[in-house]
Amino acid sequence: MAATRLMVSTINIGVSSSVFFKSAASPFFKPHSLSRCFNNNAKLVSRKRGFACSALYRPEVQIKEEGQPETLDYRVFFVDKSGKKVSPWHDIPLHVGDGAFNFIVEIPKESSAKMEVATDEIFTPIKQDTKKGKLRYYPYNINWNYGLLPQTWEDPTHANPEVDGAFGDNDPVDVVEIGESRGNVGQLMKVKPLGCLAMIDEGELDWKIIAISLDDPRASLVNDVDDVEKHFPGTLTAIRDWFRDYKIPDGKPANNFGLGNKAANKDYALKVITETNESWAKLVKRSTPAGELSLV
């Protein structure tokens, strides 16, 4: 029987800047526990299976690991205070107020296991991606915290005229968080967007929102993409080059970038977030075909 571990840290989603879910049994978590509280004033919307609510009202959320890390069966679930599983993609609110957003860490900085929300599994837990039945790892560590914005979706039926007509990649929007602290799998951070890159991966548009945790000591210094170059010199180029080249060791071509091969500014990033949040809303209302995606 697969091992199950329930993280004892509980949170209310919404106010504090970051939440750490930790387990001594998992290499993905630190050996000590810490909890911080969140509040959220989002209205509760009832849902049935197959339709996701816009946000849960002040839920207490725990992390529940099932299986052993770095195995095919390993999953990181989110559960509420009653023990019911909830979806990090659909049930964690996107907005937290004051221009900040919730960001869920899938891959901590300086790690290589390719963890991701399983968009085709019920309650969309975080798992390690696979290829041909084998666990996937990047060829080298990623140098920033990497994960997703909940309640966003890149619509694969929408051709973006501003990015070479590329269609969405059918996933939530990715975030590259440039702060100094290393996150943990399943950690929830409050971040502010600073810019974005329009990566084109095998013909699909795969937005990378560049953001920083509001807990970072330098967060107040950076408010737009030009500030990143000033206070984090070389970071924008390093992010672009990392995502351009990471598939090359596997014999695949380099990825391309739209928008002049440069990072767009904060306003453009906010536009991307708004549009993909609207696409997600259509998805969960079934105005757009879901295909194999889980809406629970």
Q: Return d(Cα 42, Cα 54) in angstroms, integer.
A: 8
- How many C-alpha atoms does 174 have within 13 Å on its Cβ side? 23
Residues near 174 by Cβ (< 8 Å), separated by ≥ 6? Answer: 146, 147, 148, 149, 206, 207, 208, 209
Q: How is residue 110 written in tokens?
A: 């300086």
Catalytic residue check, 138 = yes
The answer to whether residues 191 and 213 touch, using CB atoms and an 8 Å cutoff, is: yes
Residue entry with tokens 């039926």: 157
Element (H, E) at 137: strand 137-142
Q: How is residue 6 written in tokens?
A: 């329930």
Of the residues 138, 140, 146, 268, which is catalytic? 138
Q: How is residue 181 written in tokens?
A: 């602290």
The answer to whether residues 91 and 102 touch, using CB atoms and an 8 Å cutoff, is: no
Instruction: Quote the distance between the C-alpha of residue 19 and its chain's center.
Output: 14
3-state helix, strand, coil in the chain (%, to 5): 15, 30, 55
Compute how many other C-beta atoms are within 10 angstroms of the C-beta atom of residue 254.
12
The answer to whether residues 186 and 115 touch, using CB atoms and an 8 Å cutoff, is: no
Residue 149 phi/psi, 5-degree rounding, is -95, 120
Q: How is residue 47 written in tokens?
A: 């849902």
Active site residues: 138
